[in-house]
Amino acid sequence: MNYYFHVPFCASKCGYCAFYSLPGVGREVVDAYLDRLERTFVPCGRGETLYIGGGTPTFLTVEQMERFFKLLRSRIEFEEGAEISCEANPETLTPEKVALLRENITRLSMGVQSFDASVRNNIGRKCSDEALENAISLVRKAAFPHWNMDLIFALPGQSDEAFFAGAARALSCGADHISCYALTAEENAALKLPEDDERAAELMPAIARFLEGQGVCRYEISNFARPGAECRHNVNVWRGGLLSGHGPGACGFDGVDRWSNPPLEAWLKDTPPERDRISKAERLNEIFAVNLRTAAGWTPGLWAKVPGADGWQKRLKIIRTVASSMGEDWFIISEGRIALTGDGMMFWNSVAGEIFDYGT
């Protein structure tokens, strides 16, 4: 089973953020969150992966983090070699928290976003250079088995050179996974960004070349990793794996429906999740499209593992129809594999739209 826990608390709200996150809550709110998890969390199978995301899981105090990990460790039976990931923001890390994370997780994901303080400031990301350097030094010393850094590119006030210098810095710090995102203008975010899709689209192939030149390969539209450092949790979920999601706003997938938990207030009152009931054909098309975000794409064997999968020949028929209307050079199609080329990945949204609409 792939477990996901959403920790929706943050020290402050970043200007670009459109995620479900609650800035600056008091200690008692986090305690109520932990009480509810303790009261109701029942695992549903051995854990192959666990992903603790946010929000900012490291916003919790050391005592709260201890309580949280104790709860997870005592209830979930993990498979040998399970991947346990946790997101962290540099400004919240202390030596005690890093030590606790090192004891309990196998993969740390740090939201750096930019190594340039003025760029972080422009996007309302409150983290000083001192806090960032301190966090990097703590994490380097702790030597986590795997370490991701999130970096944003094509930002206002950020030169391309500065982005590449940041990516080089991330690798020199020992990160073996880099998630590269371009911000998109979000209606719910405080910061109103100019849409600059063209700049982002031009930059991504150069980023891929740069990172691949350093042995860090693109395995998903926004994600790069050294061999063996890919995020197993995400890979499983993209391939239609089961997802047991917990916490306010968390999503899950039981093999038939996706569902999402309500926001904190309702979640604390045990309000049940909302089910996203779509037909089986639509669900299969959705899963089929999502994993085309990955460089590996689908093989007959991977497709056969999708809950309720239909035949591989049907998938070939769908993708050939989509390719004939969109341009064959975006697609890699053979009896043994369906994937998108680098160019095709740039237009994943359009490809996915065609797949979603197929036969519905």
Per CB under 6 A, contacts with ligand SF4 among 98-117 are 111
Does 166 sit near ligand SF4 (CB under 6 A)? no
| 259: its two tokens | 């569902």
Q: Answer yes or no: are the C-beta atoms of 243 and 4 closer than 8 Å.
A: yes
Closest CB 29 distance from ligand SF4, rounded Å: 15
**What percent of the chain is helix, strand and coil (3-state, nearest 5)?**
45, 20, 35
Closest CB 191 distance from ligand SF4, rounded Å: 11
Does 55 sit near ligand SF4 (CB under 6 A)? yes
Q: Which is nearer to ligand SF4, 18 or 296 (CB)?
A: 18
Closest CB 56 distance from ligand SF4, rounded Å: 5
Does 14 sit near ligand SF4 (CB under 6 A)? yes
Contacts of 350 (CB under 8 A, 6+ apart): 326
Does 10 sit near ligand SF4 (CB under 6 A)? yes
The letter for the amino acid at 199 is: R
Contacts of 261 (CB under 8 A, 6+ apart): 6, 245, 246, 247, 248, 249, 250, 251, 267, 273
From the list 4, 7, 21, 264, which residue makes contact with ligand SF4 (rule: CB under 6 A)?
21
**CA–CA separation, 21 and 190 (whole Å):** 13
From the list 1, 2, 50, 56, which residue makes contact with ligand SF4 (rule: CB under 6 A)?
56
Closest CB 190 distance from ligand SF4, rounded Å: 10
Closest CB 150 distance from ligand SF4, rounded Å: 9
3-state class (DSSP) for residue 234: helix
From the list 89, 122, 179, 285, which residue makes contact with ligand SF4 (rule: CB under 6 A)?
89
**CA–CA separation, 136 and 174 (whole Å):** 10
**Binding interface with ligand SF4 (CB under 6 A):** 10, 13-14, 17, 19, 21, 54-56, 89, 111
